[in-house]
Amino acid sequence: MTKNFILCKTKGNIVSPLPNWPRTKPKRYMEKLNSEQQILVAARKIFVKRGFAGARMQEIANEAGINKGLLHYYFKSKNRLFNAVFDEAVAKIIPKYNDIFDSNLSLYRKIERFVSEYMDVLTEDPSIPSFVLNEINRDPKAFFERFEAEVSDSSKFYKEIEQRVAIGAIVPIDPKQLFVNILSMCMFPYIGAPFIQASSGISNEEFKVLMEERKKGVVQFIINAIKR
């Protein structure tokens, strides 16, 4: 990570950057923090558009409205900048669902919270699914080696589903299939948003309303599919 950032581990063990606030928060420090965030926002846009291989530091600097020298001052290489952007994107997703699945909530309540909170994250930042999936496809081995412990935490949810099936509380279903169903029903509309909006003739704001309505529909669909 970059200078003036500390590493903060969430419950899911994802490492995410948090400001290492000085006590006085001087103006120069705040300007530096704002510049770093400005770079991360610009870099995400370019990485999503071009991919890692196609992105150029000069284009990222132009998008951020700074010179290339300043960009290299904050992030010494494209690889370090990409890792910072990617870690930030992943940290918005994995700790959230780990916290939900580790909770003492009922199964149906966990499904409801996961769908609602996951879709809220994607509505706030619709570029996350495409950005993360592109990186996984680019180098799946590196991704799973890097986040193996966090990703494998879904096994806890799988065990709960198996236990519920065993006592006859829900219909027989492969836990992996259930998880894929939940994840894909939440994620696909954001990946396919350009096509959905173009074919339906809806604006960005109308799409957000549609996704807000969809949260209840997805939860009801999943619960109806597994309940006795």
Q: What is the pTM of this model?
A: 0.71
Question: CB under 8 Å, gap of 24 or more: what pairs does 36-42 form?
Answer: 36/2, 36/4, 36/5, 36/74, 38/64, 38/65, 38/66, 39/64, 39/66, 39/71, 39/74, 39/75, 39/81, 40/84, 40/85, 40/88
Confirm if 170 and 164 have CB atoms less than 8 A apart: yes
Strand ranges, E, within the chain: 5-9, 15-19
Average pLDDT of each block of 10 consecutive residues along the chain (228 residues)? 38 41 44 76 88 91 92 92 86 75 90 93 85 80 71 75 95 94 93 93 94 95 95
Q: What is the pLDDT of residue 17?
A: 43
Strand ranges, E, within 82-224: none
All domains of the chain in start order, with CATH:
5-89 (1.10.10.60), 92-226 (1.10.357.10)
Q: What is the pLDDT of residue 181?
A: 95
Q: What is the pLDDT of residue 68?
A: 93
Q: What is the pLDDT of residue 10?
A: 41
